[in-house]
Amino acid sequence: MSHGTQTDAAATRAATVRRIAEQHASARGPLMPALHGVVAELGHIDPLDVPVVADVLNLSVAEVHGVVSFYTDFRTRPAPAHTVHLCRAESCQALGSQPLYEDTVRRFAGREDVEVDHVFCFGNCPLGPSGTVDGRLHGRLTPERITRLTQDWQP
Ligand code: FES
């Protein structure tokens, strides 16, 4: 990608973020809806979006940054193509979720397109270790099952 194209893309993104923030500027408590609007339309909140939102809403960059980093559901990087989210709460821990999580992290280390993360309880405790693979819930997960469920994921 040429430098010019990157700059154009950044300018287009900034204009989009500005438009979204302006749509919420007159609301009471506009920051959360504006940030959700950016995630809904652009997939994540880039660090460069923060000053744009702050400017439109008359907030400090620190305030906006604080909210973005406090709420982990505001993605600050593009969404990966694939996700494996494993439960590490108590029942699943008792059924071996910790080594499964560590094995899965190692397996996908260095894969930018795969996000391995942990969550605390899917409410699927008797069937642990539980986890989602690309958003779909599975129980009784093992390394072998994860291999099968992810076998089509090309790097
Ligand atoms: S403890 Fe893992 S699903 Fe509840």
Low-confidence ranges of the chain (pLDDT < 70): 1-6
Q: Which residue has the tokens 């009471």?
A: 28
> From the alpha carbon of 88, which atom of ligand 1 is closest?
2
Kindly report, residue by residue over 16-60, the tens digit of the pLDDT: 999 999 999 998 999 999 999 999 899 889 989 999 999 999 999
Last-in-domain residue among 44, 70, 96: 70
Task: Tell me, yes or no, whether 29 lies in a domain.
Answer: yes
> From the alpha carbon of 129, which atom of ligand 1 is closest?
2
Per-residue pLDDT at 74: 83
Which token pair is 102? 């560590």
Per-residue pLDDT at 1: 44
Put simply, whether the predicted model's pTM sits higher than 0.85 gets the answer: no
Last-in-domain residue among 50, 70, 90: 70
CATH of the domain at 133: 3.40.30.10
Last-in-domain residue among 70, 93, 116: 70
Per-residue pLDDT at 128: 95
Identify whether the C-beta of residue 97 lies closer than 8 Å to the C-beta of residue 52.
no
Which token pair is 126? 């008797």
**Residue 123, exposed/middle/buried by CB under 10 A (0-12, 13-18, 19+)?**
exposed
Task: Tell me, yes or no, whether 155 lies in a domain.
Answer: no
Question: Domain range holding 42?
Answer: 3-70
Per-residue pLDDT at 76: 84
CA 155 – ligand 1 centroid, Å: 30
Domain count, the chain: 2
Give the pocket of ligand 1 (CB within 6 Å). Answer: 87, 89-92, 121-125, 128, 130
Which token pair is 148? 């099968």
